[in-house]
Amino acid sequence: MHLMAPNKWDNKPTMVKINPSQPNICVVIPAFKVKAHILEVIGSIGPEVKNIVVIDDACPEMSGDYVVLNVVDPRVEVLFNEHNLGVGGAVKVGYRHALKIGSHIVVKIDGDGQMDSSRITELIEPIISKQAEYTKGNRFFDIEAVRVMPKIRIFGNLGLSFMTKLSTGLWQIFDPNNGFTAISGSMLKRLNFEKIDNRYFFESDMLFRLSLLNARVVDIHLPAIYGEEKSNLIIKQVLFEFPIKHARNLFKRILYTYYLRDFNLASIELPLGMLLSGFGLILGVYSWIQGIATNTPTQTGTLVLIAMSILVGLQLILAFLSYDTNNRNK
């Protein structure tokens, strides 16, 4: 259904003119429990956008129906999922539709009003200028903006960012779960949607899949807007689910990058470093337990072997990480 959005300042319908020389830009908005903010989000999207796709992910607040009844912008189309697919599943529905209608660039915005849609032009500029295939917001560039961010989000993001750097090899990115993103249509066509996570791990999994395709990913300074909205993210679920999925992606990335697609010095450094470090730690623990049980000190030669194994092993692992970082950032 195509509709026209009311201007958020005067509530009067505003017809939007699209410059035919510009690339076709589509905004995808997953809608789940965002009825309080969805109209303002849609109304704030500028004329540079040709299509706006709202995906009602079986929302209990009937956000999709609310948009149909209250928005009259001809750019807007509302899609309804029969069952809740999760934020990732809903976005993938929007991505497929964006490709179907021939979009050149697809922007993803959450419907909770935390993202400043007036910054879309900044987000897509590296894609238009052929400097990137995927761009994402980063809320941590501006120290003043970080100060108003809830502390739990700051510390959580630090941990998630490091895990994402490891699992994706995209060492230059930060704030991996930022949902304000843009992707070129050509890169979007190359992604296998069936393999990308349907839930809150979606953004991190997207980065992993893009990394495997050697996509150029760029962070854009886009501070978030925090109000009274509540996140649907379950913290306990993240604490247990995300580390496991990051570990899985890390294993896959190393296997694909250093053993299936290529084999180089780093391919030797990592397993040898882990083997030596593991040997040193196991021998150290065994010697410590044996010394306590027999009340005898560990021999000097054994201590030297333990120390050298651990130190050389760590040095090889650091050498691998150095290669991995520099190789990706070339």
| Residue of 268, 259, 270, 77 whose CA lies nearest to 166 | 270
- pLDDT tens by residue, 77-91: 999 999 999 999 999
- pLDDT tens by residue, 116-166: 888 999 999 999 999 999 999 998 877 776 776 777 777 777 888 999 999
**In the β-sheet with 73-80, what is the strand arrangement from edge to edge?**
2-4, 73-80, 51-56, 25-31, 105-108, 181-184, 134-138, 217-221
Structure tokens at 303: 């201590």
- Under a CB-based contact definition with an 8 Å cutoff, are residues 227 and 149 in contact? no
List phi, psi (to 5°) of 169: 80, 5
What distance in Å separates the CA atoms of residue 174 and residue 165, rounded to the nearest whole number?
8
pLDDT of residue 8: 33
- pLDDT tens by residue, 208-218: 999 999 999 99
Domain-wise residue ranges, the chain? 2-257, 264-328
User: What is the DSSP code (8-state) at residue 113?
Assistant: S
Residue 301, pLDDT above cutoff 80 = yes
Structure tokens at 275: 């083997």
Fold of 2-257: Spore Coat Polysaccharide Biosynthesis Protein SpsA; Chain A (3.90.550)
Going through the chain in order, the beta strands assigned E by DSSP cover 2-4, 25-31, 51-56, 73-80, 105-108, 134-138, 181-184, 217-221
User: Which residues share a beta bridge with 138?
Assistant: 221
Cβ neighbours for 320, distance < 8 A, ≥ 6 positions apart? 266, 269, 270, 273
For the whole model, what pTM was predicted?
Answer: 0.84
- pLDDT tens by residue, 13-70: 333 444 545 789 999 999 999 999 999 999 999 999 999 999 999 999 999 999 999 9
Confidence band, pLDDT 50/70/90 cuts, at residue 318: very high
Residue 9, pLDDT above cutoff 50 = no
